[in-house]
């Protein structure tokens, strides 16, 4: 039988195989992350009809005489390192792998073994696991170390994002606040008995919200002096927990005094005594003497005690020729500055110079502004911060540092904008405290790290998607369903994986990798395959004609 018949048959078979590969490529032109294949041919063994001979001194050598026996499929190579174009989907769980030096694969598990895929179309299943939309295979990655809060890169495990511990974010107690805005000395609220109200909403360790109510009042506006006091702390039921704590009969006197001193100075004596209006009043022999010689002794002044006010009066008297006469004088007329007494007076006394000393429970902090430019100068005669000692109300609270450095004393048309907010001047989130947060969204960054967003402003790391790399990615065996398994020639997977950015790669959320099938190439290959098949079929028909002529010799 003629060898050309079998050569033609082998040609038909190999071109049919190539056509099968082309057809598979074209059919998967819209398959996510599909990798096209190409076929190469190899010739079959040769029949040697005459062996080669070596050259001699007088004759040359003779090459071997061989007849080829046809063709065969040499290899079917997957173009696995060629990435497909990006397709935008807007779905946060659609992820495209972008390679730099190595070809990366997502690691998925079918319940019994780890497999590998480039198709990053994922979703959250009923158990909260990140999984493939097509097969439900679980996406594998690294978990968060609960002690350090960082990724623990050990054996890959399923990424269960929506587990109970991830659905909420822990609350935080408030520790920082700042006072800013303008206080106008002509503001009627600032000059009222109640003062200009300011509210600070803050949180305890458990995430419960409270409102600290402050009042800012004028003291001596000509010298840029004001006061601020704490008037109450309300819980979410509008109960004043500060007043309740002070009234609690279970507290000791020391505890009550400490709670009363939660904001301000308790049981203080005026650091600047109220001095005599001198002239006209003077101090002599333990008595205060008026211009006309009327006197009042020390005991009479001190007897006013806690009831003393700027309008309190004392009787001054003098005796002339046995006749005693009296007059009434107001405290504010006798002592300079007495028109601005603090609240909460506990008692009064006179020193050896006749100066009035006032003992009081002071829940006010003095605030001073620079009169030349209206900027903040100091609070409590020291710096720019004071402390709200909220921890005195219970272990769930933290002390709150209030920063006044950005407060201003300007003319604002009789309207004050001053207010108090959580956080520091530089960063409103620093020490602001937070309520218990509920998860509002999930995002994946370019390194594969998965973050949860919460309605209290927190962003928490939930895990990281790991990838696999192989020494010979083309050696992977395709199993269908867009997944591959490792083979002896691809290299093994170590069970840990690598970070996609380790060699310059990245993940793009909201995108999918499209098929890398090039239709123009495939159709061109289809034409050459068709012509090759056609030519091989002619080999068979011509060989058949020759055989027919051979058999006709018998006639």
CB atoms within 10 A of CB 297: 16
Residue 71's contacts (CB-CB under 8 Å, 6 or more residues apart) are: 7, 10, 11, 14, 41, 42, 43, 44
- Residue whose C-alpha is closest to residue 379's, from 219, 226, 267, 230: 226
- CA distance linking residue 401 with residue 399, whole number of Å: 7
Collapse the DSSP code of 484 into the 3-class scheme (helix H, G, I; strand E, B; otherwise coil) and give the result. strand
Question: What pLDDT was estimated at residue 1?
Answer: 53
**Which sign does the torsion angle of CA 24, 30, 33, 38 carry?**
positive
Q: What is the mean pLDDT of each run of 10 residues along the chain (555 residues)?
A: 78 91 93 91 79 84 82 88 91 93 94 95 94 95 91 94 90 96 95 92 96 92 89 92 82 72 63 82 92 92 87 92 92 88 76 84 81 93 90 93 96 95 93 94 95 92 96 92 93 94 93 94 92 89 84 79
CA torsion, ordered 42, 43, 45, 46, to nearest 10 deg: -160
Question: What pLDDT was estimated at residue 245?
Answer: 85
Give CATH for domain 176-264+365-422: 2.60.98
Question: What pLDDT was estimated at residue 105?
Answer: 96
The whole-angstrom distance between residue 140's C-alpha and the CA centroid of its chain comes to 23
Domain ranges of the chain: 3-49+65-81+517-552, 86-169+438-513, 176-264+365-422, 282-359
- CA distance linking residue 465 with residue 498, whole number of Å: 9
Question: What pLDDT was estimated at residue 543?
Answer: 83
CA-derived radius of gyration, the chain: 46
Collapse the DSSP code of 58 into the 3-class scheme (helix H, G, I; strand E, B; otherwise coil) and give the result. coil
Entry pTM: 0.69
Question: What pLDDT was estimated at residue 11?
Answer: 85
Residue 255's contacts (CB-CB under 8 Å, 6 or more residues apart) are: none
């Amino acid at each position: 039988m003629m060898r050309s018949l079998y050569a033609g048959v082998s040609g038909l078979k190999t071109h049919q195989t190539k056509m099968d590969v082309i057809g598979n490529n074209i059919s998967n032109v819209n398959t996510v992350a599909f990798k096209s294949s190409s076929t190469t041919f190899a010739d079959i063994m040769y029949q040697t009809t005459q062996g080669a001979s070596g050259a001699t001194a007088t004759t040359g050598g003779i090459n071997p005489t061989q007849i080829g026996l046809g063709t065969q499929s040499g290899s079917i190579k997957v173009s696995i390192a060629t990435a497909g174009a990006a397709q935008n989907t807007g779905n946060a769980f659609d992820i495209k792998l972008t390679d730099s030096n190595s070809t990366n694969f997502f690691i998925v598990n079918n319940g019994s073994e780890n497999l590998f895929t480039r198709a990053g179309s994922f979703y959250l299943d009923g158990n909260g696991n990140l999984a493939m939309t097509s097969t439900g295979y679980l996406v594998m990655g690294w978990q968060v170390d609960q002690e350090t809060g960082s990724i623990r890169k050990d054996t890959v495990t399923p990424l269960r994002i929506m587990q109970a511990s991830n659905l909420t974010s822990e609350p935080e107690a408030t520790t920082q606040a700042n006072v800013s805005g303008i206080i106008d000395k002509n503001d009627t609220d600032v000059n009222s008995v109640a003062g200009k109200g300011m509210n600070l909403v803050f949180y305890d360790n458990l995430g419960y919200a409270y409102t600290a109510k402050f009042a800012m009042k004028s003291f001596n506006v000509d010298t840029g002096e004001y006061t601020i006091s704490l008037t109450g702390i309300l819980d979410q039921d509008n109960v004043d927990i500060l007043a309740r704590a002070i009234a609690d009969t279970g507290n000791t006197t020391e505890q009550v005094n400490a709670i009363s001193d939660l904001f301000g100075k308790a049981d203080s004596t005026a650091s600047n005594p109220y001095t005599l209006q001198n002239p006209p009043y003077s101090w002599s022999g333990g008595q205060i003497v008026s211009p006309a010689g009327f006197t009042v002794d020390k005991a009479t002044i001190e007897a006013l005690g806690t009831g003393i006010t700027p309008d309190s009066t004392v009787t001054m008297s003098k005796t002339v020729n046995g006749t005693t006469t009296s007059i009434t004088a107001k405290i504010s007329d006798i002592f300079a500055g007495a028109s601005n007494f603090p609240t909460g007076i506990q008692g009064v006394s006179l020193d050896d110079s006749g100066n009035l000393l006032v003992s009081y429970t002071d829940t006010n902090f003095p605030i001073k502004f620079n009169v030349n430019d209206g900027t903040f100068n100091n609070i409590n005669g020291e710096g720019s911060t004071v402390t709200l000692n909220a921890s005195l109300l219970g272990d769930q609270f933290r002390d709150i540092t209030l920063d006044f450095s950005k407060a201003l004393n300007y003319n604002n048309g009789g309207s004050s904008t001053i207010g108090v907010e959580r956080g520091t001047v530089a960063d409103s989130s620093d020490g602001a405290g937070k309520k218990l947060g509920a998860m509002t969204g999930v995002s994946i960054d370019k390194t594969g790290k998965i973050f949860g967003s919460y309605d209290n402003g927190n962003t928490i790391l939930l895990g990281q998607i790991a990838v696999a790399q192989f020494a010979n990615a083309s050696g992977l065996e395709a199993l269908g369903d867009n997944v591959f398994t490792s083979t002896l020639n691809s290299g093994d997977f170590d069970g840990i994986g690598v970070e996609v950015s380790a060699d310059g790669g990245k993940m793009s959320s909201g995108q999918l990798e499209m098929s890398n099938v090039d239709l123009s190439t495939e159709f061109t290959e289809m034409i050459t395959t068709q012509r090759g098949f056609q030519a091989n079929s002619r080999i068979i028909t011509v060989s058949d004609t020759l055989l027919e002529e051979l058999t006709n010799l018998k006639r």
